[in-house]
Structure 1
Amino acid sequence: MKLNSEYWENRYQNLQTGWDAGQITTPIKAYIDQLEDKNIKILIPGCGNSYEFEYLIQKGFQNTHVLDYAETPLENLKKRIPNYPKDQLILGDFFDHHETYDLIIEQTFFCALDPELRKNYAQKMYSLLKPKGKIAGLLFQFPLTESGPPFGGSKESYIELFSPLFQIRKLETAYNSIKPRQENELFFIFTKK
């Protein structure tokens, strides 16, 4: 199975979006609520329907960008937020993207990638962040299997993957996950070294 743009577009077209919570999840909302600088440049890669994006806009974070290589979720965002600058809704491949950001929010993108791309993901995140930039969000903690997406992982494997490039500021079981994901999510904040 190729996890390419056609695969994801078909999932959206056929409403096979079981990962979509229908609203911003509690751990991400709580993190956004404590952010103070409304001018930071933010990216949400593999954004999907991105209720996180919508919440950031409502909270006054106008320098927020989303990226997906399925067109349908970006069209959904345009309908929900019609007056938002279209150039901040980016249709493209994460690995071909070249802007830089202060903060990247991870919400069900990492777990959707083929696990063979994880090292590339960490390196790409590093290159997309400005000095001292952060990645924050959620990673699944359940055994990594060949079936997916979503693909799982462990705290230990994430430390091994990210610590060469990032300072691990926080990586702990999310205390406020939505019910279907309780005990299966790690909330994290990594700062670019």
Structure 2
Amino acid sequence: MTLADALRLPSSYEGISKVDIKQQESVIVLAYPKKITSLYTIASRKPNIIMPENNPGVVNEEIRAKLLNHFKEKQHEEQAQGWIDLWKNDFKPWDKGFPCPELEDAFEKGKIEEGDNGKKTALVPGCGHGYDLVTLANAGYTAVGLDIAPQAPEKFEEYLAQNPLKSSTAKVVVGDFYGNFPESEKQFDLVFDYTFFCAMPPSRRPDWAQRMSELVKKGGNLICLEFPLGKPAETQGPPWGVTEEAYAEILSAVGFKRLERYEPEKVHEIGKGKTMLSKWVRD
């Protein structure tokens, strides 16, 4: 996001104020009514995102421990209900309140093709409130978000009311990624995975790869935000630690070829030094 973009935000933001300007850097606060949702540092060459302490996207140790304990004893068949329960209790420490900066960065740099005015389709599994659907729709994709939580579509509509689409369409559907869900009979030109792969136990990863091979069109792309890199594999999740090799092994086995892997310039504060973006094509 540039300073110019920030100044064009809708009036639903309670206030946009330039707090400091020095050394070609502007700091602005974007506030929804009654709470700060995000704090951006917008620099002339390499913008980074800073999260204020009261932002729901900042996960402290107490919150992390609560999340780990919630899933500690849950088996495969209990995982989905575990996430539903967190939504019911409005405990969503993964929710940042704004779109993934790494995805925006990829479009800005031309790393991902745009969606041709809705002719191309995109899927975001585990989409949460659906922030990234707006990014994809505004890049020309007909975007579909999938989440296990029944509250997700309503939350997306609330977000959409504050952030209307510039082009194309987007919606959130409820269902199980590994089973049938609305739109599951389709294949997509692009699937974006961010904090979905790392949310499941490592033993489930081959199933994840197989499902991706079913959902991505032949010649289509899978975009993976590899996070958290460097976390020991034996450490309890979610998020579970990931490695470059873990993605390569299971995706190559189901017909994906990696086209590119790089460290994004724009990274969420919690992902600094622990995030890479990889782009795959289904052969």
TM-score, with structure 1 as normaliser? 0.88
Unmatched 5+ residue regions in structure 1? Answer: none
Equivalent residue number for residue 110 of structure 1 = 197
Equivalent residue number for residue 19 of structure 1 = 94
Unmatched 5+ residue regions in structure 2? Answer: 1-73
Aligned-partner SS, 2:133: helix
Equivalent residue number for residue 42 of structure 1 = 122
How far does the alpha carbon of each residue in 1:111-164 deviate from its partner, in whole angstroms, 9 at most, with x for none? 111211101111110111111011013011122235111111111222122123
Q: Which moved more, 1:75-84 or 1:50-59?
A: 75-84
Contact (CA 8 Å) 2:153, 2:171: kept in 1 or not? no
Equivalent residue number for residue 122 of structure 1 = 209
Equivalent residue number for residue 242 of structure 2 = 153
Distance 2:150 2:271 in 1: 27
1:100 aligns with 2:180: no
The structure that has the greater radius of gyration is 2
Among 131, 156, 166, the alignment partner of 2:218 is: 131
Contact (CA 8 Å) 2:194, 2:225: kept in 1 or not? yes
TM-score, with structure 2 as normaliser? 0.62
Contact (CA 8 Å) 1:32, 1:56: kept in 2 or not? no
CA gap of 1:145–1:73, structure 2 versus 1, over 3 A, is farther
Aligned-partner SS, 2:238: coil
Distance 2:281 2:160 in 1: 30
Equivalent residue number for residue 152 of structure 2 = 73
Which of the two has greater helix per residue?
Answer: 1
1:181 aligns with 2:271: yes
Contact (CA 8 Å) 1:155, 1:171: kept in 2 or not? no
**TM-align CA RMSD:** 2.4
Distance 2:138 2:98 in 1: 13
* Structure 1 runs (4+) greater than 4 angstroms displaced: none
CA gap of 1:28–1:90, structure 2 versus 1, over 3 A, is same
Distance 1:177 1:160 in 2: 25
Post-superposition offset of 1:89: 2.1
Count residues with an aligned counterpart: 192
User: Relative contact order, CA 8 A, sep 6+: which one is greater?
Assistant: 1
Distance 1:153 1:76 in 2: 29
Q: Which moved more, 1:51-60 or 1:147-156?
A: 51-60
Distance 1:58 1:171 in 2: 24
Distance 1:41 1:26 in 2: 20
